């Protein structure tokens, strides 16, 4: 039988990588669990509240998006819109070229991965440096992040030391502290030389006209401290009604992502520099990117737009832990990626229609989600859509015979009764190699097919 692509990837995955992904994910899950449990008597109530906040926001996006635009403009920011990934890339390079910018520093942003911004900027001759340590290593290796929050969870210190040596950042040294110091020195010059800083945004408060940006390393702060132009790429779904909602969302984001009460740096960007506040970038551009999001909003999977990109569902997922992020063949891995990636693929949905099947539907992703996204339900809806659109479905067992049996009461009754013959078959002697290891330690219960129906019939008579 053909195998699912995710399964195949997991089987061929390097053992060391698999071990690293598994232990790092498990540690993330443990940390989240103990912090939330220690801080809240009813963390699930808080998750449900956050879910309602986000659901309300996306279901009123028509109002909030326009409000956010007005608030941001009032603060002196330029607001742009981009329908597709290509439009978004072009919007960025247009702004940079108009300003004569040649060098750019970038803070980690999933949407810039989604639109392949670095490739585009490279193609128009603009140097773009990822400043998050993990993302920088991804960039110099020509690799892709394999986790939303921990992009190089699949690499070890020796891999990184070799990459740094190759890039001329010093002799081979795999001490994590040395690696980090070298990145600090290297980035320092990049920040100071850069013409522009590019960031994403974790939230946009519509009423306050603020972008909210969280990092632990402080790299986004540097991108907004040294360069004179700030460009923020923001998915349209990031908008929330006001600052008040942040009390709930920020408290859940840090704890869910890394087990921290708050991420180290939480930045509230309210506009470009002013004459009385000259420190920041003089120009601020916000690019609201659709890239299939409005179509997701129109679909029956709109709940996925609540996502705040904490990565908790990746950490807890048995399939992610076994297969790692690259198994998902897309920017967003794990349970959230299994829903989001096929939807973001738009016309190419079928190419990723196998992802929703890479799940045991155990529901752990929903239980840890800070915004209570019913991921298993969405996976089922997408499986259904894949079936309706005749997407290829390797690894699905043929259900034809069972379907026939189950749809005819007479055949079903007959099968139930006649299978009693199974009790007489010496299973351990059957020439079925797949079955034998199992049968060595277990026995099948006695076949009692049909007894329930008989019991029901008797009961009805009474």
- Give me the phi and psi of 149, to 5 degrees please: -100, -35
Nearer to other proteins, 284 or 416 (CB): 284
Smallest gap from Cβ 266 to other proteins, in A, equals: 4
Q: Measured from the CB of residue 357, what is the shortest distance to other proteins in angstroms?
A: 26
Compute the least distance from the CB of residue 181 to other proteins, in Å: 8
Residue 271 or 391 having the CB closest to other proteins: 271
Of residues 86 and 451, the one with the C-beta less far from other proteins: 86
Please provide residue 446's backbone torsions phi and psi, each rounded to the nearest 5 degrees: -65, 140
Select 28 or 335, whichever has its Cβ closest to other proteins: 28
Task: Please state, in angstroms and rounded to a whole number, the distance separating the CA atoms of residues 364 and 227.
Answer: 42
CB of 131 to other proteins, least distance (A): 7
Instruction: Name which of 363, 311, 264, 252 is nearest 21 in CA terms.
Output: 311
Q: Angle between the 133-140 and 157-166 helix axes, to the nearest 10 degrees?
A: 60
CB of residue 434 to other proteins, shortest distance in Å = 37
| Closer of 8 and 20 to other proteins (Cβ) | 20
Closest CB to other proteins among 6 and 249? 249
Smallest gap from residue 46 Cβ to other proteins (A): 6
Closest CB to other proteins among residues 270, 393? 270
Q: How far is the CB of 332 from other proteins (least distance, A)?
A: 19
Placement of tokens 């190759």 in the chain = 166
């Amino acid at each position: 039988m053909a195998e699912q692509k995710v399964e195949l990837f997991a089987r061929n995955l390097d053992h060391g990588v698999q071990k690293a992904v598994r232990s790092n994910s498990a540690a993330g899950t443990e940390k989240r669990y103990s912090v939330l449990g220690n801080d809240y008597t009813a963390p699930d109530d808080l998750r449900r509240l956050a879910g309602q906040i986000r659901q309300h926001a996306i279901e009123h996006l028509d109002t909030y998006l326009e409000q956010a635009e007005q608030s941001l403009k009032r603060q002196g920011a330029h607001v742009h819109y981009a329908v597709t990934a290509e439009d978004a890339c072009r919007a960025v390079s247009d702004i940079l070229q108009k300003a004569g910018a040649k060098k750019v520093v970038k803070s980690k942003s999933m949407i810039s991965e989604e639109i392949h911004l670095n490739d585009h900027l490279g193609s128009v001759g603009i140097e773009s440096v990822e400043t998050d340590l993990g993302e920088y290593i991804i960039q110099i290796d020509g690799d892709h992040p394999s986790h939303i929050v921990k992009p190089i969870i699949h690499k070890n210190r020796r891999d990184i030391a070799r990459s740094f040596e190759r890039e001329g950042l010093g002799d081979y040294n795999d001490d994590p502290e040395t690696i980090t110091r070298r990145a600090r020195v290297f980035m320092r010059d990049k920040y100071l030389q850069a013409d522009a800083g590019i960031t994403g945004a974790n939230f946009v408060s519509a009423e306050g006209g603020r972008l909210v940006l969280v990092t632990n390393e402080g790299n986004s702060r540097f991108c907004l401290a040294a360069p004179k132009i700030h460009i923020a790429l923001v998915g349209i779904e990031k908008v929330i009604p006001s600052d008040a909602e942040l009390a709930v969302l920020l408290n859940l984001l840090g704890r869910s992502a890394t087990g921290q009460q708050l991420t180290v740096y939480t930045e509230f960007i309210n506009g470009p520099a002013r004459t009385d506040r000259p420190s920041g970038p003089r120009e601020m551009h916000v690019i609201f990117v659709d890239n299939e999001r409005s179509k997701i909003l129109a679909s029956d999977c709109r709940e996925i737009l609540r996502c705040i990109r904490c990565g908790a569902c990746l950490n807890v997922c048995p399939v992610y832990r076994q297969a790692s992020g690259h198994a998902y063949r897309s920017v967003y891995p794990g349970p959230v990626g299994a829903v989001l990636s096929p939807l973001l693929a738009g016309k190419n949905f079928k190419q990723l229609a196998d992802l929703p099947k890479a799940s045991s539907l155990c529901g752990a992703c929903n239980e840890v989600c800070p915004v209570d996204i019913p991921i298993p339900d969405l996976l089922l809806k997408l499986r259904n859509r894949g079936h309706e659109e005749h997407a290829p479905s390797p690894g699905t067992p043929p259900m034809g015979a069972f379907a026939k049996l189950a749809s005819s009461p007479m055949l079903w009754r007959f099968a139930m009764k006649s299978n009693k013959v199974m009790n007489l078959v010496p299973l351990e002697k059957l020439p079925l190699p797949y079955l034998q290891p199992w049968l060595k330690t277990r026995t099948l219960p006695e076949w009692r097919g049909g007894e329930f129906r008989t019991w029901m019939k008797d009961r009805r008579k009474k």
